[in-house]
Amino acid sequence: MDQPIKHSPDIKKNDIIPGFVFQFAEDDHGNRRFPMFSVSIMRIFGWTEKDLQVHVEEVLGRVHHDDRHDLEGAIRESKEAQSIWGHTFRFVCGKGKVKWLQGLASPERSGDTTLWRGVIYDVTDKVECEKRIQQQQVDLEEIAFLQAHEFRRPVANMLGVFDLIDLQLRQEEQSLEKVLALIDILKISVKEADAVIAKIVTKAAELRH
């Protein structure tokens, strides 16, 4: 049967680390329990003493829905291969706050039970920082695209129009109407270039904030 989890007063010293130490056991019949964990679990999860009386499956049920399948798969793979368990997942903590957690544990087989000893860290700040960096990279690539592609088209159009105007002006019979028509085309290209510059300026401003 699934048993309530409880902390061990023998490892309260581990409360100083940015995570919590734990032991997790599972037998071949699927029974699970936490023989021990450090009291810092309350700080990481935003729990109270009352929350410590929940059962293992209730704890696992608080893993973010989108991450449960992969987490269970990682546990199963570690148990079958008796290999190091390592996984990053989201957990719904107290008051519904979602945190990113990263765990690392070593399994040990004894009889029909596998016991993992390890630690779980709160890596929310790290993950969010990585996401911001990735978004900035996307923004920079967009700016580079605007400069390399969108901006080149109106510039090429303007250069072409200048060449045509120059040709018209060098002809013996100059056509004012043709020159004015070319100037109108030039104005359109200038507006397009100005719009692209505005996009670049806006995107750069977003990156600064």
Give the C-alpha separation, 99 to 117, whole Å.
Answer: 22
Q: Where are the domains of the chain?
A: 9-122, 128-208
Mean pLDDT in residue range 100-128: 94
DSSP state of 4: B
Residues contacting residue 178 through CB under 8 Å, at least 6 positions apart: 168
SS3 189: helix
Whether residue 90 contacts residue 65, with contact meaning beta carbons closer than 8 Å, is answered with: no
Checking if the pLDDT of 16 tops 60, the result is no
Mean pLDDT in residue range 139-167: 68
Checking if the pLDDT of 173 tops 70, the result is no
Alpha-carbon dihedral angle through residues 54, 114, 78, 55, given to the nearest 10 degrees: -10
Give the C-alpha separation, 21 to 19, whole Å.
Answer: 7
Mean pLDDT in residue range 103-124: 95
CA 20 to each of CA 23, 28, 53, 66: distance values in angstroms, whole numbers, following the listed order: 10, 26, 17, 23
45 burial (CB, 10 Å; 0-12 / 13-18 / 19+) is buried
Mean pLDDT in residue range 122-151: 76
Cα torsion 97, 106, 19, 30: sign = positive
b/e map of 82-113 (b: 16 or more CB within 10 Å)?
Answer: eeebebbbbbbbeeeeebbbbbebebeeeeee
Length of the chain measured in residues: 209
CATH class of 9-122: alpha beta
Checking if the pLDDT of 29 tops 80, the result is yes
Of 15-24, 105-114, 171-180, least confident by mean pLDDT is 171-180
Give the C-alpha separation, 180 to 62, whole Å.
Answer: 70
Instruction: Identify the pLDDT of residue 175.
Output: 67
Instruction: Identify the pLDDT of residue 49.
Output: 66
pLDDT tens digits, residue range 179-203? Answer: 677 777 777 777 777 677 777 767 6
Q: How many CA atoms lie within 13 A of 166 on its CB side?
A: 6
Category of 98 on φ-ψ map: left (φ > 0), alpha (ψ -120 to 50) or beta? beta
Of 5-14, 107-116, 198-207, least confident by mean pLDDT is 5-14
